[in-house]
């Protein structure tokens, strides 16, 4: 997955049980990773956007995690600054080698940062990936603003700071949300899950799966399965 070259985790899909399972072991951590942007020049535009948005989600959820880890906090901020600068560039021009290289680094930073933990976005997206076999990064990108909105009350201070670190034109939570929605539109990410063929008929099941997912434990708010089902339904229909 995105940034796996600096991680100790693997995710596999159990097709019979229709769930994603995570394997963690320090021996899966590589001794060296070569980030060669020339190998990514032929990556299609939609995958460039989805994997870049996946890296952004890693950084954002790491930033929002309640776990105390100052180094991961700093790394997540740097990753988001780089993504803000280079993701629109590389989606607009896939042959922009500098932007490709910077996004490879930002991707690695995101995976290093989420040693602090992920959150509700991944809890829902991993559940959807197992049920619908859709691209993980795309699912993360669509679900992200809906989970942030559900976590709003717990994130006001973090978002005040993040708006400053990213030098956004608007302050606070709303400034970050408006930036995120604008960035998604700029790189061609759909606004709702309905746009990629997902309805909310399995909302209760998705809610239960998301609640049981390990990533939910480091969400800034401990949502119930019912709330996760509601978040999923909002992501299907839109704000």
Q: Does the pTM exceed 0.75?
A: yes
CA atoms within 13 A on the CB side of 160: 4
Residue reference for tokens 């559940």: 127
Average pLDDT, stretch 23-45? Answer: 90
Average pLDDT, stretch 216-223? Answer: 98
Average pLDDT, stretch 124-144? Answer: 96
The answer to which of 7-11, 84-88, 115-119, 142-146 has the lowest mean pLDDT is 7-11
Nearest to 148 by CA among 170, 175, 171: 175
* pLDDT tier for residue 27 given thresholds of 50, 70 and 90: confident
pLDDT of 43:
97
Q: Which residues contact 129 (CB under 8 A, 6 or more apart)?
A: 13, 20, 135, 136, 139
Average pLDDT, stretch 212-219? Answer: 96
Residue reference for tokens 């239960």: 208
Put residue 117 in one of left, alpha, beta given phi > 0 → left and psi -120 to 50 → alpha.
left
Nearest to 111 by CA among 122, 124, 100: 122
Task: Report the C-alpha dihedral over residues 138, 144, 146, 151, rounded to 10 degrees.
Answer: 160
The CATH number of 4-237 is which of 1.20.1090.10, 1.10.569.10, 3.30.300.30, 1.20.150.20?
1.20.1090.10
Tens of pLDDT along 73-92?
Answer: 999 999 999 999 999 999 99
The answer to which of 13-17, 72-76, 235-239 has the lowest mean pLDDT is 13-17
Tens of pLDDT along 88-122?
Answer: 999 999 999 999 999 999 999 999 999 999 999 99
Distance, CA of 149 to CA of 91 (rounded, Å): 26
Distance, CA of 15 to CA of 151 (rounded, Å): 31
Tens of pLDDT along 147-201?
Answer: 999 999 999 999 999 999 999 999 999 999 999 999 999 999 999 999 999 999 9
Q: Are 22 and 157 in contact (CB under 8 A)?
A: no
pLDDT, the chain, mean: 95
């Amino acid at each position: 997955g995105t940034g796996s070259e600096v991680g100790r985790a693997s995710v596999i899909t159990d097709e019979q049980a229709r769930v994603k399972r995570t394997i963690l072991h320090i021996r899966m951590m590589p001794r060296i990773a070569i980030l060669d942007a020339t190998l990514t020049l032929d990556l299609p535009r939609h995958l460039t956007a989805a994997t870049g948005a996946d890296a952004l989600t890693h950084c954002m959820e790491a930033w929002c995690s309640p776990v105390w880890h100052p180094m991961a906090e700093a790394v997540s901020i740097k990753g988001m600054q780089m993504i803000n600068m280079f993701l629109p560039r590389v989606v607009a021009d896939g042959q922009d080698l500098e932007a490709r290289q910077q996004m490879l680094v930002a991707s690695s930073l995101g995976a290093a940062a989420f040693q602090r933990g992920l959150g509700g976005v991944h809890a829902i997206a991993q559940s959807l990936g197992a049920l619908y076999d859709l691209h993980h990064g795309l699912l993360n990108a669509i679900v992200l603003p809906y989970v942030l909105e559900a976590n709003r009350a717990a994130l006001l201070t973090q978002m005040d700071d993040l708006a400053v670190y990213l030098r956004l034109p608007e302050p606070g939570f709303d400034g970050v949300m408006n930036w995120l929605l604008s960035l998604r539109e700029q790189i061609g990410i759909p606004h709702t899950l309905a746009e990629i063929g997902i309805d909310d008929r399995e909302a209760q099941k998705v809610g239960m799966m998301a609640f049981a997912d390990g990533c939910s434990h480091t969400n800034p708010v401990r949502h119930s399965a019912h709330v996760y089902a509601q978040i999923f339904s909002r992501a299907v229909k839109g704000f």
